[in-house]
């Protein structure tokens, strides 16, 4: 594969994200063919130099690499599953958001039609595309990723996770879980401090410092998770739970929401009831690793 900026690229789906992707390829110098159900969304891209294909089939024929970015996998299957669509010999990079099962199923579906398939997940907003802040995750056959990495690099910080097509989706949601956990913890603390007249901006640098400090613990906790051995090197789960009770009491006393602290404590209480009170916090992986739907 010729990995210069002359490599032709096709982008199918020109919503907010697809337009950013196509525009970035154009700016990087790639001949870029585009297609969208609502053709008018290609107007600006055509003005920037994109070629608007009249049909999906024509769009696919224009480039050896096709990026698909539509609302969901159903839309992707509807578009590319039509009888007249020839996928044999194509490389598809599907940057549509979905879950890991959809990604694996789509990979099988595409490969049965003779296409090479990489699944991807975009961890960025459209304006960040083309900058280092845009993390774009890929999974699928490594050789296919390597063949197109130089082209995909135009989009941001492009990462390869492994051969299992489901990995990009799984990392995507794992990252979201991290993001919401940090934000929710910060909001809980902010709500508490505002009752004492401390505004969010004043508290934020302290919260940032705590979040960064806790992030430093992850590699050691991860070793414990991988070895299923949780000696309380720093603090036992019982010690944590006493502090959780304090957080709930303080939240109740000042009249802020207690749902999140209670949820956290309920999980830790169950682990203690199962005999893990003397172990390190990471023993909670056992709670997180089993379904619980109530
Ligand atoms: N925007 C973000 O910040 C962001 C960030 C990360 C990931 N993503 C992911 O990127 C993907 C696209 O998001 P977006 O923000 O670009 O969404 P969007 O602006 O709503 O655009 C949706 C795109 O999907 C097309 N589409 C939907 N159903 C279709 C169908 N049945 N047949 C053909 N085309 C269909 C739309 O075509 P029409 O124009 O004709 O309606 C449009 O091109 C999603 O999976 C989203 O989760 C977005």
pLDDT the model gives residue 84: 85
The residues of the chain that CATH labels 3.40.50.720 are: 9-164
Q: Whose CA is nearest to atom 48 of ligand 1?
A: 17
Whether residue 174 is predicted with pLDDT greater than 60 in this model: the reply is: yes
Do 37 and 53 form a contact (C-beta atoms < 8 A)?
Answer: no
Mutate to test the pocket of ligand 1, among 34, 38, 71, 127 (most ligand atoms within 8 A of CB): 71
**Would you place residue 41 in the very low, low, confident or very high pLDDT band (cuts 50, 70, 90)?**
very high
Higher-confidence residue of 42 and 1: namely 42
Fold of 9-164: Rossmann fold (3.40.50)
Residue identifier of the C-alpha nearest atom 5 of ligand 1? 125
Q: How far apart are CA 148 and CA 162, in angstroms?
A: 15
Rounded-to-integer distance, Cα 244 and Cα 238, Å? 10
Q: Residue 2: its pLDDT value, please?
A: 44
| Range with the poorest average pLDDT among 55-64, 115-124, 127-136, 186-195 | 55-64
Would the pLDDT of 181 be above 60? yes
Q: Which atom of ligand 1 is nearest to 125's Cα? A: 3
pLDDT band at residue 277 under the 50/70/90 scheme: very high
CA 69 to centroid of ligand 1, rounded, Å: 6
Range of lowest pLDDT (1-15, 169-183, 202-216): 1-15
Pocket test for ligand 1, best of 70, 75, 126, 179 (most atoms within 8 A of CB): 70
Q: Whose CA is nearest to atom 37 of ligand 1?
A: 37
Nearest CA to ligand 1 atom 21: 15
* CATH fold of 195-288: 1.10.1040
Quote the radius of gyration of the chain (alpha carbons, Å). 24
Ligand 1 atom nearest the C-alpha of 96 is 45
Residues of the chain with CATH 1.10.1040.10: 195-288
Tell me which residues have their CB closer than 6 angstroms to ligand 1: 13-18, 36-38, 41, 69-71, 75, 78-79, 96-97, 122, 125-126
């Amino acid at each position: 594969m010729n990995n210069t900026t002359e490599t032709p690229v096709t982008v199918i789906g020109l919503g907010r994200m697809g337009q950013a992707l196509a525009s970035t390829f154009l700016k990087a110098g790639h001949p870029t063919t585009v297609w969208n159900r609502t053709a008018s969304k290609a107007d600006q891209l055509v003005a920037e130099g994109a070629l608007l294909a009249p049909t999906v089939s024509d769009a696919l024929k224009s480039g050896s690499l096709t990026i698909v970015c539509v609302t969901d996998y159903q839309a992707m299957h509807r578009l590319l599953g039509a009888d007249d669509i020839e996928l044999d010999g194509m490389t598809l990079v599907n940057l549509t958001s979905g879950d890991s099962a959809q990604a694996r199923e789509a990979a099988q579906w595409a490969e049965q039609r003779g296409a090479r398939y990489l699944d991807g997940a975009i961890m960025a907003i459209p304006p960040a595309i083309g900058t280092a802040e845009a993390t774009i995750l890929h999974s699928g056959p490594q050789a296919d990723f390597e063949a197109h990495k130089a082209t995909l690099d135009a989009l941001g910080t492009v990462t390869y996770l492994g051969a299992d097509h489901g990995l990009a989706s799984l990392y995507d949601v794992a990252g979201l879980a991290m993001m919401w956990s940090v934000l929710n913890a910060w909001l809980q603390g902010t709500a508490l401090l505002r009752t004492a007249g401390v505004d969010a901006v004043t508290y934020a640098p302290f919260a940032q410092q705590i979040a960064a400090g806790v992030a430093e613990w992850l590699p050691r906790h991860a070793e414990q998770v991988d070895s299923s051995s949780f000696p309380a090197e720093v603090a036992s789960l019982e010690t944590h739970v006493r502090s959780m009770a304090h957080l709930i009491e303080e939240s109740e006393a000042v009249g802020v929401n207690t749902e999140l602290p209670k949820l956290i404590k309920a999980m830790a209480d169950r682990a203690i009831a199962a005999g893990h009170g003397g172990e390190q916090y990471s023993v909670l992986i056992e709670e997180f690793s089993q379904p619980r739907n109530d």
